[in-house]
A and B are shown apart, each in its own frame.
Chain A
Amino acid sequence: MNKIGLALKELYRAEEELADEYVKVGERLAAEHDVWYDCKRFAEQCHTHAGAIRPFASKHEEDLPPADDETVGETSTAALRHKLSEALGRRPESGLLLLRSLRQLYLQAQEVSFHWMIAGQLAQATRDQELLSVVDELHRETLTQIKWLKTQVKLASPQALVVGAGR
């Protein structure tokens, strides 16, 4: 068993799962128009990251499937989620749903970031300059996703939790 290959597989898996979550959240929160659009773009970005990891994993004896390229608005249940979002979008509880979704994305993005950090250490320890460059560029994109999630949470939480609270 190649432990390095396994670590890269973990990163790949985390990116693919995060992509799936972006797709789901984007559709569920279609009434939050900016969230919908950015989730779509970030889902694509995660798939690109996963695709970039594959050749390094196979170098370490770990054959990964091609990155899934499913994006927001294209799954079979997308239309249903979209409709539901528009219906729920008229209710104040939609702010709570937004917060819950952002929490899930934040946790998964942190997990991805964690695996990028490990990948960076491995790249240095194995003197793999090519992997190091990839990690450097793509980890930065994950950190931007995390910053974006923080920006959204800071904006959304007071409105979702304070309006009408305890009155």
Chain B
Amino acid sequence: MANERTIDIWGDRTPYAAGAEWPARVDEHVVEQPDRWVESACVLCSNGCGMDIGVRDGRIVGVRGRADDRVNHGRLGPKGLYGWQANNSPDRLTRPLVRRDGDLRETGWDEAMELIADRSRELLETMGPLSLGFYTSGQLFSEEYYAQAKVARAGLGTPHLDGNTRLCTATAEWALIESFGCDGDPGSYTDFDVCDTLFLVGHNVAETQTVLWMRMLDRLHGPDRPKLVVVDPRPTPAAREADVWLPIRSGTNVALLNAIQHELIANGWVDSAFVAEHTVGFEALERLVSEYPPERAAEICGVPADSIREAAHVLGTGERLVSTCLQGVYQSNQATAAAVQLNNVNLLRGMIGKPGCSVFQMNGQPTAENTRETGANGALPGYRNFANDAHVDELAALWNVEPLTIPHWAPPTHAMQIFRFAEEGSVRFLWITATNPAVSLPELHRIRSILSQERLFVVVSDAFLTETALLADVVLPAALWGEKQGTYTNADRTVHLSDKAVEPPGEARSDLDMFLDYATRMGFADRDGNPLLGFSTPEQAFDEFKRVSAGRPCDYSAMTYELLRGSRGIQWPCNAEHPEGCERLYTSHRFPTHADYCESYGHDLLSGAENEPDEYNAHDPQGRAFLKGAAYVPSPELPSDEYPFLLNTGRTVYHWHTRTKTARAPELEQAAPEVWVELAPEDAERLDVADGDIVAVESARGRIEAPARVTGIREGIVFVPFHYGYWDEPEGSEPNGRARAANELTITRWDPVSKQPIYKTAAVSVEKVADGGGAARVPAVASQERFR
């Protein structure tokens, strides 16, 4: 059966014991026999599975997992198996579009690019570089981000470049920086092969990283099953496998993690020698968490104190602990503060930098890591510190530009602030690449009104006519994965090369080619008058980025396309010291916190106030990690009489982002064709709602209607997947009568440190509006019975 893997999502089990090699299992889906296979990696989640693209007569006809790849050992998830069909969709954009007399009309590249360059020059002249901004993606390739970062920072000289990675992994980045001084996940996926304890916080791994969940499941079903502790308000597949499940009230992660640290310390489950030698801040942390006995957290989080004790006992008595978190932390209240507490748990246990011992600050997207490394988000290339003049000088020298050209008076502007500047009218040019803010940013009526302004010139490069593209002044048709070459890096620092398998459709071009064209038209040059982008191919761009990364933690200097091709995936740092890559960071328990080396001087976790360089210098931790505590602060919006429920938004296993690709893969689209609202049985009964009835969910910002699904979700919480927008409905860019995008409801608020929007705690009301007549057409994975 062609779509069996949308039902049997994780496939057959291949159990294995601690320390054994994860058995290979090659997953393949082809619609015709390929005449050749082209090496690549999947881009439909953050896991970074190695895959080959099957090509026949110049078209993609299927994919298969790479058996010897270190990430997936041959496996692919449902999105990977079926999602490639989007490349062949008849909906692909094939020619540039420009807005004339209110409508988007087809035109040639020269005219479209000249329009963009004209507008850029005019704004540089009249308003200056701070009137131009870029909002990029977690979907481009490393080489493209690098070119984009150079164009923005050194070509135009604007701090306004950020990625949609701000919505998915900004907190991963900042939690790593706050604890370890620098970005970069320390662990290796092989840590899952040897751990004896797993701690998953707000990480619905079974749906968001299906292949990693296969690895965990194979351990959980193996001979020496690791203990599993799961924190999640929804009865996710991982929660159902857990030894201890804590279905906490949304927005209370910090209180829970403080109580767990309280128990670790009170019971002596702390590696005191490690803490004394390799960390700073223990005394203040101990003082702070002493105020969070399990009883207090139980009251805040709405879970029994004994369950918290039980969880702490598991975490405190295991010998090899791997902790992970994702959007249940990153998109929730006190995101960075909570993610840092998870780092603390592993630091207190002394469980980092050793096989089976690590914390994973997971990523949301396949190339999110690369925006962080190349400086296409809120950092400078190579994890450089904007507040450290020596770092800026070094970058300026590498780029052969004046240091003052590179904006570094403040951190590069975060996405929500770029949209705020566009709202107030000081940003007048916004180039959006491979992302769809008209569905994915919070409070959509506001985002649509910003993008629709006459005074704002909006450029969108995309493969499809998205909700956002429909609001643009110029739309550029982009080549997708498989139609261009480049590299990307996953959450355990594994780098893959993705070769070009087929030609893009029509006149579509890679984003790299668009930036090169733009840089040429704009005449961007270095100090000697040479072209600023001194490269014209992906490999040349990669070689330049390698030089820029040399000496920094994400050191690519010894990596080449040749080395990557045919490899199992190579983990950075890859340099003279580690010519074949490096499996684990911090094996000597020295952390990149030195004042002259760290990526940031850190923040006050509650307010986001930046630490001053002098202050940091005075207390230079010189290679020790930080133990930073944080008091619990309630969510910015709490349930009220008018809006008594908490809204939780998130992903389903079948869709990716705003369905631009996955809705064009028939198996995935059929598996989850329509938005739904998950309700707890108690709430459904009170509201007189049966499965499939249509309910309205309303917040102070908007209202949606969708069929209800009664699940084992925690009472008082409703869940709505965020993927569904309007491009496949009549109006295209906005609701036509009945709204269905979850982000109509969400709140414009972000974490003070990572600036990641808070998607998972908005107050809403729920009411029944119509009988449904039968069960909702929602994915099987969401319909599990309550099990406790």
Q: Which residues of A are interface residues toward B (Cβ below 8 A)?
A: 31-34, 37-38, 41-42, 89-92, 94-95, 144-145, 147-148, 150-151, 154-155, 158-160, 162-165, 167
Q: Is the CB of A164 within 8 A of B131?
A: yes
Q: Which single residue of chain B is at the shortest CB-CB distance from A154?
A: B410
Near A by CB (< 8 A), chain B positions 409-468 give 409-411, 413, 416-417, 420-421, 423-426
Given contacts A33-B748, A37-B636, contact A158 B130 (CB under 8 A): yes
The 3 A-B residue pairs whose C-beta atoms are closest, nearest first, are: A147-B609, A148-B609, A164-B127
Q: Which single residue of chain A is at the shortest CB-CB distance from B603?
A: A151
Distance in Å: Cβ of B632 to nearest Cβ of chain A = 13
Q: Is the CB of A89 within 8 A of B423?
A: yes
Q: Which of B411, B420, B604 contacts A33 (CB 8 A)?
A: B420
Q: Is the CB of B131 within 8 A of A163?
A: yes
Q: Name the A residues within 8 Å of B416 (CB-CB).
A: 33
Interface size, chain B (Cβ < 8 Å): 33
Distance in Å: Cβ of A138 to nearest Cβ of chain B = 14
Q: Name the B residues within 8 Å of A95 (CB-CB).
A: 424, 426
Q: Name the B residues within 8 Å of A32 (CB-CB).
A: 420
Q: Name the A residues within 8 Å of B420 (CB-CB).
A: 31-33
Q: Is the CB of A159 within 8 A of B426?
A: yes
Distance in Å: Cβ of A112 to nearest Cβ of chain B = 15
Distance in Å: Cβ of A39 to nearest Cβ of chain B = 11
Given contacts A147-B612, A151-B609, contact A162 B130 (CB under 8 A): yes
Given contacts A37-B636, A154-B410, A167-B125, contact A92 B609 (CB under 8 A): no
Indicate if B126 sits at the interface (CB-CB under 8 A).
Answer: yes
Q: Name the B residues within 8 Å of A167 (CB-CB).
A: 125-128
Q: Name the B residues within 8 Å of A42 (CB-CB).
A: 607
Q: Is the CB of B608 within 8 A of A163?
A: no
Q: Is the CB of A159 within 8 A of B425?
A: no
Q: Which single residue of chain B is at the shortest CB-CB distance from A165?
A: B128
Q: How far is the CA of A65 from the CA of B141 in the complex (A)?
A: 62
Q: Name the A residues within 8 Å of B25 (CB-CB).
A: none
Q: Which of A34, A91, A148, A158 contacts B604 (CB 8 A)?
A: A148
Q: How far is the CA of A159 from the CA of B131 in the complex (A)?
A: 8
Q: How far is the CA of A41 from the CA of B633 in the complex (A)?
A: 9
Given contacts A34-B750, A37-B636, contact A92 B426 (CB under 8 A): yes
The contact sample of 27 A-B pairs, CB cut-off 8 A, is: A31-B420, A33-B748, A34-B750, A38-B752, A42-B607, A90-B424, A90-B425, A92-B426, A94-B424, A144-B606, A144-B607, A147-B604, A148-B607, A148-B608, A151-B410, A155-B410, A155-B413, A155-B417, A158-B407, A158-B409, A159-B130, A159-B426, A162-B130, A164-B131, A164-B426, A165-B128, A167-B125
Indicate if B225 sits at the interface (CB-CB under 8 A).
Answer: no
Q: How far is the CA of A160 from the CA of B610 in the complex (A)?
A: 20
Q: How far is the CA of A66 from the CA of B509 in the complex (A)?
A: 67
Distance in Å: Cβ of A34 to nearest Cβ of chain B = 7
> A-facing mask of B727-753, CB < 8 A → 1, else 0?
000000000000000000000111010
> A-facing mask of B606-635, CB < 8 A → 1, else 0?
111111100000000000000000000100
Q: Name the A residues within 8 Å of B127 (CB-CB).
A: 163-164, 167
Q: Name the B residues within 8 Å of A90 (CB-CB).
A: 423-425
Which of B413, B426, B607 has the most C-beta atoms of chain A within 10 angstroms of its own C-beta?
B607
Task: Tally A-B pairs: CB < 8 A.
Answer: 88
Q: Is the CB of B611 within 8 A of A163?
A: no
Q: Name the B residues within 8 Å of A148 (CB-CB).
A: 604, 607-609
Q: Is the CB of A92 within 8 A of B752?
A: no
Q: Name the A residues within 8 Å of B749 (CB-CB).
A: 33-34, 37
Q: Name the A residues within 8 Å of B610 (CB-CB).
A: 147, 150-151
> A-facing mask of B553-579, CB < 8 A → 1, else 0?
000000000000000000000000000
Q: How far is the CA of A119 from the CA of B410 in the complex (A)?
A: 34
Q: Name the B residues within 8 Å of A165 (CB-CB).
A: 128
Q: How far is the CA of A155 from the CA of B416 in the complex (A)?
A: 13
Q: How far is the CA of A92 from the CA of B424 in the complex (A)?
A: 5
Q: Name the B residues within 8 Å of A147 (CB-CB).
A: 604, 607, 609-612
Q: Name the A residues within 8 Å of B612 (CB-CB).
A: 147
Q: Name the B residues within 8 Å of A31 (CB-CB).
A: 420, 423-424
Given contacts A92-B425, A163-B128, contact A154 B609 (CB under 8 A): no
Beyond contacts A90-B424, A167-B125: 19 other A-B pairs, Cβ-Cβ < 8 A, are: A31-B420, A32-B420, A33-B749, A34-B750, A34-B752, A41-B606, A42-B607, A92-B426, A147-B604, A148-B609, A155-B413, A155-B417, A158-B130, A160-B426, A162-B128, A164-B127, A164-B128, A164-B131, A167-B127
Q: Is the CB of A144 within 8 A of B423?
A: no
Q: Which single residue of chain B is at the shortest CB-CB distance from A33?
A: B748
Near A by CB (< 8 A), chain B positions 663-695 give none
Q: How far is the CA of A158 from the CA of B130 in the complex (A)?
A: 8
Q: How far is the CA of A3 from the CA of B735 in the complex (A)?
A: 66
Q: How far is the CA of A38 from the CA of B604 in the complex (A)?
A: 12
Which of B130, B420, B424 has the most C-beta atoms of chain A within 10 angstroms of its own C-beta?
B424
Q: Name the A residues within 8 Å of B126 (CB-CB).
A: 164, 167
Q: How far is the CA of A136 from the CA of B410 in the complex (A)?
A: 30
Q: Name the A residues within 8 Å of B413 (CB-CB).
A: 155
Q: Name the A residues within 8 Å of B609 (CB-CB).
A: 144-145, 147-148, 150-151
Distance in Å: Cβ of A25 to nearest Cβ of chain B = 15
Q: How far is the CA of A17 from the CA of B459 in the complex (A)?
A: 47
Q: Name the A residues within 8 Å of B608 (CB-CB).
A: 34, 38, 148, 151
Distance in Å: Cβ of A161 to nearest Cβ of chain B = 10
Distance in Å: Cβ of A105 to nearest Cβ of chain B = 13
Q: Name the A residues within 8 Å of B125 (CB-CB).
A: 167
Q: Name the A residues within 8 Å of B424 (CB-CB).
A: 31, 89-92, 94-95
Q: Is the CB of B604 within 8 A of A144?
A: yes
Q: Name the B residues within 8 Å of A155 (CB-CB).
A: 410-411, 413, 417
Q: Which single residue of chain A is at the shortest CB-CB distance from B637?
A: A37
Q: Name the A residues within 8 Å of B750 (CB-CB).
A: 33-34
Q: Name the A residues within 8 Å of B423 (CB-CB).
A: 31, 89-90
> A-facing mask of B582-624, CB < 8 A → 1, else 0?
0000000000000000000000101111111000000000000
Q: How far is the CA of A95 from the CA of B424 in the complex (A)?
A: 8
Near A by CB (< 8 A), chain B positions 276-320 give none
Q: Which of B409, B604, B606, B611 contacts A154 (CB 8 A)?
A: B409
Q: Name the A residues within 8 Å of B748 (CB-CB).
A: 33
Q: How far is the CA of A145 from the CA of B607 in the complex (A)?
A: 8
Distance in Å: Cβ of B442 to nearest Cβ of chain A = 10
Q: Which single residue of chain B is at the shortest CB-CB distance from A167?
A: B126
Q: Which single residue of chain B is at the shortest CB-CB distance from A143?
A: B609
Distance in Å: Cβ of B343 to nearest Cβ of chain A = 21
Q: Name the A residues within 8 Å of B131 (CB-CB).
A: 163-164
Distance in Å: Cβ of B461 to nearest Cβ of chain A = 25
Q: Which of B421, B607, B611, B636 contacts A159 (CB 8 A)?
A: B421
Q: Which of A38, A94, A163 contacts B130 (CB 8 A)?
A: A163
Q: Which single residue of chain A is at the shortest CB-CB distance from B615?
A: A147
Q: Is the CB of A38 within 8 A of B425?
A: no
Q: Which single residue of chain B is at the shortest CB-CB distance from A166?
A: B128
Q: Which single residue of chain A is at the shortest CB-CB distance from B420?
A: A32
Q: How far is the CA of A154 from the CA of B157 in the complex (A)?
A: 17
Distance in Å: Cβ of B546 to nearest Cβ of chain A = 32
Q: How far is the CA of A11 from the CA of B552 in the complex (A)?
A: 47
Q: Name the B residues within 8 Å of A158 (CB-CB).
A: 130, 407, 409-410
Q: Which single residue of chain A is at the shortest CB-CB distance from B124?
A: A167
Q: How far is the CA of A148 from the CA of B424 in the complex (A)?
A: 22
Q: Name the B residues within 8 Å of A34 (CB-CB).
A: 608, 749-750, 752
Which of A32, A37, A91, A167 has the most C-beta atoms of chain B within 10 angstroms of its own C-beta?
A37
Q: Which single residue of chain A is at the shortest CB-CB distance from B633?
A: A41
Q: Which of B128, B130, B407, B425 contacts A91 (CB 8 A)?
A: B425
Q: Which single residue of chain B is at the shortest CB-CB distance from A160?
A: B426
Which of A95, A145, A163 has the most C-beta atoms of chain B within 10 angstroms of its own C-beta?
A163
Q: Name the B residues within 8 Å of A159 (CB-CB).
A: 130, 421, 426
Q: How far is the CA of A158 from the CA of B125 in the complex (A)?
A: 17
Q: Name the A residues within 8 Å of B128 (CB-CB).
A: 162-165, 167
Q: Name the B residues within 8 Å of A154 (CB-CB).
A: 409-410
